[in-house]
Structure 1
Amino acid sequence: MDYLLKGIYKKEVMYRERCAREERKRQVMENDKLQCGECGFLSNTVGKAEEHAKDYCHTNFILSDDFFIDQHCCSCPTHCNSPMALELHKKKTGHTEYEDTEAKRDRLVQEYLAKIEAAMKQRDEQLRIALEKEVRSQTRLLNKKLNMRSCLDSIKQSLKFDEQQQRALKTLVTIVKNVAEHPAEEKFLKIRISTIEKRLGYVQDGFKFLELCKFEKVEGGMFLVLPSYEVEEELLKAANDELNRALSVMEE
């Protein structure tokens, strides 16, 4: 008999608890809201309250007639959706600056646009620097080509016979070609002047042409040396073009 009474009492208790839960749900749906007593989070549905409890392990919820607000903390990612949540967050963190969603969105958009503008300015500055460098490089190369052409014209004027002129120009072609094809081999980067001065017709403009290719006189003027780090493919190509131009003019 006692066993039956206990079973009936237990069912009665469970029924009353279920009715109480249903009543709370009904009240929330009609007027009141559920509010977390630990952080102030405000919910207008039981589902949202249960989701919050699951995410943050907060279980202390109360019925509340608090109202919703929309405030994002400017110092951390926290979003406060009720006055209670805002006050609790202020006390806990000491943060004092807050903004609503629209203001936050506008601020983030402005920050994003500012970053884009800064990146574009930086890119434009980099392009400007690169263009200026390219212009300086091409101008320097053009000036050297003109000086090379002047040297070759002087060589042809200084040497009376075509055979002498061709030998001088072909000597320069060989030197330039060897360096261009073997820029790391020392035997092509160091030339004894006495071995080429006769082939160049003892004309100083021949040596000047090589100096325009960045050869330097060393060891008391006994050698011409082109440091490997000074080898410029574009400059050597320009020198070769000028030499071929000069030779083709002679052959016409």
Structure 2
Amino acid sequence: MYALTVKDISVTYDKQLALENVSFAVPEGSITGIIGPNGAGKSTLIKSILQLLPTLSGKVEVFNKPIRVQKKIIGYVPQRSEVDWDFPTNALDVVLMGRYNHIGLFKRANKKEIVWAKHCLERVGMQAYASRQISQLSGGQQQRVFLARAMAQDAKIYFMDEPFAGVDASTEKAIIQLMKEWKEEGKTVLVVHHDLQTVNDYFDHVLLLNKTPIAYGETNRVFTLDNLEEAYGGKIAFLQKEPTAVKGST
């Protein structure tokens, strides 16, 4: 079964065409990287899939149903730059926000929900910071809290927008470990990513994007020199058959 099916999505942003006729289908229980140069529309794609941005055309299905009726099984980790880290709340409360679809927006979390939220913090190594204000956390710690919030949703499919940006090596390792655990549990993960050196190690499938799909499929088939040069519009050197540190941000 496909966890996500995207058909002919086109999007304009600031009156410019940001995405054109994007189609792909993601198998359940896989980890997919969305790769492309600066301005390729990677974050725009995730936001349009999640209906956070309007689309000109296209259709999105999650487990063969319209995405609008599947919100409870979707988890989302936004870019850190899009979060108001000065908002007066602590780490535990942020994680509990991930339970709103289950407990209701205006209902208080019960003991069971709080225990679950603390468990999620523990899984990302942040249980000792449950009462810490998020503004007092480091960048890597803040990202771990948002991972715990996504985990608290107990979703079947997760969207992560640049989760490795600006984090330390230990946090990156923790994120990868969590992604692998989600995969083992049969969950599906899509990740906007910019570090070409780690693509082969991190992802089962890759979508190479530059406003329109360049290639999509299993990483060992799609992540090739020819496809990368087409996506990035120029020569990319390889080191031991893998890309050097050529990076493109969203």
Q: TM-score range by the shorter chain?
A: under 0.3
Higher relative CO (CA 8 A, sep ≥ 6), structure 1 or 2?
2
Q: TM-score, normalised by structure 1?
A: 0.19
Greater per-residue helix proportion: 1
Pair member with larger Rg: 1
